[in-house]
Structure 1
Amino acid sequence: MSESDADPTERNRLDEEESPYLRQHADNPVNWQPWDDAALAAAEERDVPIFLSVGYSACHWCHVMEEESFEDEGVAEILNENFVPIKVDREERPDLDSIYQTVAQAVSGRGGWPLSVWLTPDGRPFYVGTYFPREPKRGQPGFPDLLENIADSWADEEDRREMERRADQWTDAIAGELESVPDPGEAPGEDLLGSAADAAVRSADREHGGFGTGQKFPQAGRVHLLLRAADRADDEETAAEYREVATEALTAMAEGGIFDHVGGGFHRYTVDRKWVVPHFEKMLYDNAEIPRAMLAGYQVTGDDRYATAARRTFEFVEREMTHPEGGFYSTLDAQSEGEEGKFYVWTPAEIRDAVGGGEWTGERVDADTAADLFCDRFGVTESGNFEGKTVLTISESIPDLADEYEMSEQAVEETVEDAREQVFEARAERVRPRRDEKVLAGWNGLMISALAEGALVLDDGDRWTELAEDALGFVREHLWEAPDGDGETGRLFRRYKDGDVAIEGYLEDYAFLARGALNCYEATGDPDHLGFALDLADAVVAEFWDAEAGTIYFTPETGEELVARPQEPHDQSTPSSLGVAADTLLALAEFRPDDEFADVAERVLETRGQQVRSNPLQHTSLALAADRYARGSLEVTLAADDLPASWRDELAARYLPTRLLTRRPPTDDALAGWLDDLGLDEAPPIWAGRGARDGEPTAYVCRNFACSPPTDDLAEALDWADDGA
């Protein structure tokens, strides 16, 4: 055995990892280690602190810190000699990220990436920060100086005792913050939705759209809260205000710089209040959750801008984020050629070259006029809005351009679209941002849900059905170990990359994927998707549910033991996994004869009830789950082999919050085969006695044990629900 094999920290081991983010650091002179038993044992053996650096592939300041410090031989020497440096991809290990972000928030009031944490050899934190510059700057210590100070303090007996005391205090605080469960109370009632919507209105930026007065994040959950509350409001004035705040946010996103107007898809957030300049990375989860909100907005308002934004986002995901076998990749970087946003920004000259450089097929105007129209439409100017170039935003309306150029609105719209296609082709010649090609189970679940909803709402729904089902099949094939037999539950892994499967799934993987599988069943009527959703829910209860505490933890009971076992009640960049789990369990409870799923969800909502009532905007997903619990699902049971076109039109056009669309064969004989495949001894109430009448497709719409008469007129049944079911 060589010396370097005996001590793994004598070399950089990240070239052995599958994470693209970790591989980006494989050539650093820092002897980076993955988070594994070998690295942790080496820290104990050497009796030196761990320097933990957490980031992700598309993180801009992670790249900056790498260039400034981790590629520097002098910094590497300090790190290698005095620490065990460990790199973690937060997208692979959200459990570690959650634990140490909690420390950062508690100590400094802020977190983020890169996250820099110094740990005792057994993993207890004693110093924390985010990005540190190479040289002292704006009150921040220079990174090399900080490393030397920490190393010197660790070597001093008295200072080290103080570090150990601080580590004990912080570890206790982590456990208290992440593991504590409130005393159970009452689950929120139907009044929660209105109070949550009122809170969203108070937080709204009524001038520029969205929420807050600084950087603008998507906040898709708040849009769902507002639209649902508007649908439920007793008076039209209140409903109108809720709708206005929701649609102001949707319009700002559909027209602002957070949306890629050339190629589709959404960037992470904007750095300004006016939704102009984005942080340019594209995350799979944003390109799932924002379109879901857009589709809801389209159903409520009929505004084609929202449907177009959703459709073009799906086209982007299909084109640029899809594995050849069906799963979805994780992220696109913000940078190309070392510059943030370079792939996405334009000058007027570049637009003229793009529009006039190829074969211009427009018959209405010449290429120069088309370029001018495009620049006016999307605000492309000589001065620009981002480092001398322009992030595209909708800057002039089609009617105003029609007046200005003395053209019909249709001609303007068609000309701008032709020009956009030319610009898209020109952009394809640029150096593309780097893509993180790991496939994550949970993020795929979010995307599958969005596509399944698009399959129901958009006129090209079959395309999105196929994409959703392909992804679901990919995850089932590569990341799912089916249960062996009766009493066993399946096992889900989190990450697939180049044939390598790793990391036991977290709650978000099971919950998001279960919801995606359920939504796929709603869109297709394939009971195999429903069966998979039920299997995932069984695993959630078996591995993550703690009946004594009354909560669903983020990590599985049989998972790695860390300094704390986190929960995720808050919505962050992704929905709360606890909230999605509760909501999905409530929906799936309709298909199980026992009450286990419903009981688990009820206990969670009782435990978190006061927190949700006190701060619904921090707990948006739990608030939506609580509303389903209080209001009940709107059960739309359709007994038919194939849905009539008129039914599909109704489902596309109707905004139906808490909808549970359930399909079943028209006859009980055919249903018996489904029940056998699903392991059910008898038909659940949502299917029992709800066959086709007189051999014709039949619809049943129910809520809280009250049902419309069986009918072949779905619109009539849905009207019954609107009238107060």
Structure 2
Amino acid sequence: MFIKNDMPNRLSTENSLYLQQHASNPVEWYPWGEEAIMAAETSGKPLLVSIGYSACHWCHVMAHESFEDEYIAGIMNKHFICVKVDREERPDIDQIYMEAVEMIQQQGGWPLNVFCLPDGRPFFGGTYFPPEDRGLGLIPWPQICMRIADFYKRSKGELIENAEAIQKNILAGTQAASTGGASSDWNPQCLLEAAQGICGNHDDQYGGFGEAPKFPPAMSLNFLRALRPAVESDLAARIDEVSRITLRAMAHGGLFDQFGGGFARYSVDAYWLIPHFEKMLYDNALLIDAYTRAWLDTQEPLYAAVVEETIGWIDREMSAPEGGFYAALDADSEGEEGQYYVWTPEQVDSVLDPSLARALRAAYNITGEGNFEHGKSNPALVEEDFTVRVKLADARRQLREYREAERVPPGKDTKINNAWNCMMIRALADAGFYFDRPKWTQRARKAIDFLWSELVTETPEGIQLKAVYYKKGGAKVDAFLHDYALLAEACLAVASKIDWVEPGASATYQARAQSCVDQAMQYFADEHSIGYYFTAKAAETPVARRKEWFDNATPSGNSVMLHALSGLHALTGDSRYAAEFEATLPAYADYAGKVAAGVAHGLEAAATYQSGVAVIKVGVDVDMNALRKALAAKAWRRTFVQQSMDLSSNQIQVCLGTQCLAPKDDLATAMVPM
């Protein structure tokens, strides 16, 4: 719970849930903007910029410990102009200050706390600080604030030098990254090196990559699957092994909500047992994609169940009635992390019949000792027998319904984030088609129509897009590169499958995708080099205007642009899109061999382009359900299905990349190249 103060600060009129959570702090927070900069310059005080997001556990911890404390707030108010930033609203600010803190501390994270000159240039920063010395090597937050305030008064010149050095390094890094990793030309061999590198880093015992904490590697898995048809048998077998181990481990472990569906943000351990319990829309969108594609290649029932249960959670808890999807669920409820999701044996026994309770406790490792705090257990399957999940489906449902009725749910961030919604739209459009669930594809269409109506303004000069929507506040924040690119990709995803449920509807969404990409090329292109900037030409960005090549929790804007460009080229044949795609691709050449997992979404675009995006044109009388069934029995390939008035009523024509085959009257014959 957040402590209320009688005198709300300047955040009280903001729409962001994260900012609202701090609106009653005794800290005199400003939102990011000209007012805060002017206050700092007028007062001569440095800026203290604190960045986080609503579902961040350690952001809540620091807020409770320090920002709600009258004494600590008094120190902050006396010596600084304090600014709160929701990183999900302003990723541009977060990016710059995260880069600065990583230079200073060699690591970053949230909460992100940055001390800046009045003009916004950073000179020092860090992440979480405790309110007092706890013997953990972390300087207490009040002490940090007092030291910096004192140093600012006595040795301001040194801090200005620090800020100038940091700015110089950021600018140098930005300049060095202006062409990405393009020190060499693009060669298809880069994809093989990337796949081998990613597979070589796989944890064959527990799945995933690297050591704890482990994040779900959906983008790496999707790249490997896109490349798989083009590789030799040994590498194909290795890709299958990596995919199987990781997808099964995540599905059986505590990262997945075994009773309610959906994935948490990441696992704190190496074996996917205990997560940080926040659930993010974007993670689940990427994972629906990954499990859908894996199911197409394997027909593994576990993967289908994960998709079904995750979308079930989206329907129940994350769907806005007006059309979009909510952003996130908090990790905490009733002041305890994971409280909503963990169980004791006694709690299970109080809900289920005795024999069913015993079976479920044994299957999901719910013991008296517990695997989490206070003797509680986060459910995870002990054995990998799919029939156990099936037999206990009713028990799992009963426990889900019990917690929905009897427990305090975690906080929900109801902002509608354009980029994250677009990722979910893409996932639902494809999953609905391949799993024969027309409601999912129609739900994707409803969401894309909502985004277009609420976030897009159409003008004679092109479209203007906003990044977030609030039910009470409307559309806010000018969109960034990834917003335009992901909206284009979401439109393309709907265009690729909507003719299955509403023949002829695809043209609208293809046209919208073109509008998004054409506008992005105008707003974000680098006139002197390859790739696209994160912020638009007219945007004010602290310190430097940057290009984003590396994926983070979500795909980078440049990588999504590659997907949008290749899709539009396949659909329209417009050489502009192919030329732009091929001009940008060399940026990934060096990265592919050195840090492939960091650019996996861009590499997936290269792999699908290399194998040929499929466009299947069908006459008006073709049995779309039979076509859907045929494609669902094939390995995954990026595919557009569109009704065409240029064909005879029963004809089917398959185009792969730039080659269109002769139309066929027989479905089985037409599907052979797929």
Q: Indicate the TM-score class for this superposition, using the shorter chain for normalisation.
A: over 0.9
Secondary structure of the residue aligned to 2:537 is coil
2:659 maps to 1:706: yes
Percentage of matched positions with identical amino acids? 37
Q: Whole-Å Cα distance in 1 between the matches of residues 578 and 225 of structure 2?
A: 25
Tell me what 2:3 maps to: none
Match of 2:294 among 294, 297, 309: 297
Secondary structure of the residue aligned to 2:672 is helix
2:421 maps to 1:425: no
1:513, CA displacement in angstroms?
A: 1.5
8 Å CA contact 1:647–1:715 kept in 2: the answer is no
Tell me what 1:495 maps to: 468
1:631, CA displacement in angstroms?
A: 3.8
Match of 1:660 among 614, 639, 650: 639
8 Å CA contact 1:196–1:225 kept in 2: the answer is no
* Structure 1 residues not aligned, in runs of 5+: 1-9, 356-366, 400-408, 669-690
Secondary structure of the residue aligned to 1:245 is helix
Tell me what 1:471 maps to: 447
1:609, CA displacement in angstroms?
A: 2.6
Q: Whole-Å Cα distance in 1 between the matches of residues 598 and 223 of structure 2?
A: 12
8 Å CA contact 2:212–2:269 kept in 1: the answer is yes
Q: Residues 311, 188 of structure 1: CA spacing in aligned structure 2 closer, same or farther, 3 A cutoff?
A: farther
Secondary structure of the residue aligned to 2:179 is coil
Report the residue type matching 2:413 in the other structure: D
1:185, CA displacement in angstroms?
A: 5.7
Secondary structure of the residue aligned to 1:104 is helix
Tell me what 2:163 maps to: 167
CA offsets 1:54-100 (integer angstroms, 9 cap, x no match): 00001011011011110111111111111000000000000011111
CA offsets 1:269-296 (integer angstroms, 9 cap, x no match): 1000011001100000011001100001
2:402 maps to 1:416: no
Q: Whole-Å Cα distance in 2 between the matches of residues 585 and 499 of structure 1?
A: 35
2:538 maps to 1:558: yes
Match of 1:307 among 304, 308, 329: 304
Q: Whole-Å Cα distance in 1 between the matches of residues 464 and 424 of structure 2?
A: 21
Q: Whole-Å Cα distance in 2 between the matches of residues 639 and 532 of structure 1?
A: 23
CA offsets 1:18-46 (integer angstroms, 9 cap, x no match): 00000000110000000011111111111
* Structure 2 residues not aligned, in runs of 5+: 1-6, 500-504
Q: Whole-Å Cα distance in 2 between the matches of residues 651 and 591 of structure 1?
A: 19
Tell me what 2:174 maps to: 178
Equivalent residues in 2 for 1:296-375 (5 A)? 296-355=293-352, 367-375=353-361
Equivalent residues in 2 for 1:76-225 (5 A)? 76-137=73-134, 138-156=136-154, 159-180=155-176, 181-182=178-179, 187-225=185-223
Report the residue type matching 2:585 in the other structure: L
Q: Residues 642, 348 of structure 1: CA spacing in aligned structure 2 closer, same or farther, 3 A cutoff?
A: farther
Q: Return the index of the structure with the highest Cα Rg.
A: 1
Secondary structure of the residue aligned to 2:343 is coil
2:577 maps to 1:597: yes
Q: Whole-Å Cα distance in 2 between the matches of residues 531 and 189 of structure 1?
A: 32
8 Å CA contact 2:47–2:81 kept in 1: the answer is yes
Report the residue type matching 2:380 in the other structure: T
1:187, CA displacement in angstroms?
A: 4.9
Tell me what 2:429 maps to: 452
Secondary structure of the residue aligned to 1:619 is helix
Secondary structure of the residue aligned to 1:374 is helix
Secondary structure of the residue aligned to 1:490 is strand
1:557, CA displacement in angstroms?
A: 1.0
2:521 maps to 1:521: no
Secondary structure of the residue aligned to 2:392 is helix
Secondary structure of the residue aligned to 1:719 is coil
1:398, CA displacement in angstroms?
A: 4.3
CA offsets 1:373-418 (integer angstroms, 9 cap, x no match): 111221111111101111111113448xxxxxxxxx6xx6654111
**Farther-moved stretch of structure 1 (708-717 vs 84-93):** 708-717
Report the residue type matching 2:160 in the other structure: E
Q: Residues 187, 306 of structure 1: CA spacing in aligned structure 2 closer, same or farther, 3 A cutoff?
A: farther
8 Å CA contact 1:187–1:606 kept in 2: the answer is yes
CA offsets 1:505-539 (integer angstroms, 9 cap, x no match): 01111111211110011110321111111111111
Q: Whole-Å Cα distance in 2 between the matches of residues 436 and 187 of structure 1?
A: 44
Aligned residues: 656
1:633, CA displacement in angstroms?
A: 2.0
Secondary structure of the residue aligned to 1:510 is helix
Tell me what 2:672 maps to: 719
Report the residue type matching 2:410 in the other structure: P
2:419 maps to 1:394: no
Q: Whole-Å Cα distance in 2 between the matches of residues 640 and 176 of structure 1?
A: 56
8 Å CA contact 1:115–1:130 kept in 2: the answer is yes
Q: Whole-Å Cα distance in 2 between the matches of residues 560 and 86 of structure 1?
A: 17
Q: Whole-Å Cα distance in 2 between the matches of residues 220 and 478 of structure 1?
A: 29
Q: What TM-score, normalized by structure 2, do the two folds share?
A: 0.94
Secondary structure of the residue aligned to 1:51 is strand
CA offsets 1:535-562 (integer angstroms, 9 cap, x no match): 1111111111123122211111121242
Cα RMSD of the aligned pairs, angstroms, is: 1.8
Secondary structure of the residue aligned to 1:656 is coil
Q: What TM-score, normalized by structure 1, do the two folds share?
A: 0.88
Equivalent residues in 2 for 1:42-53 (5 A)? 42-53=39-50
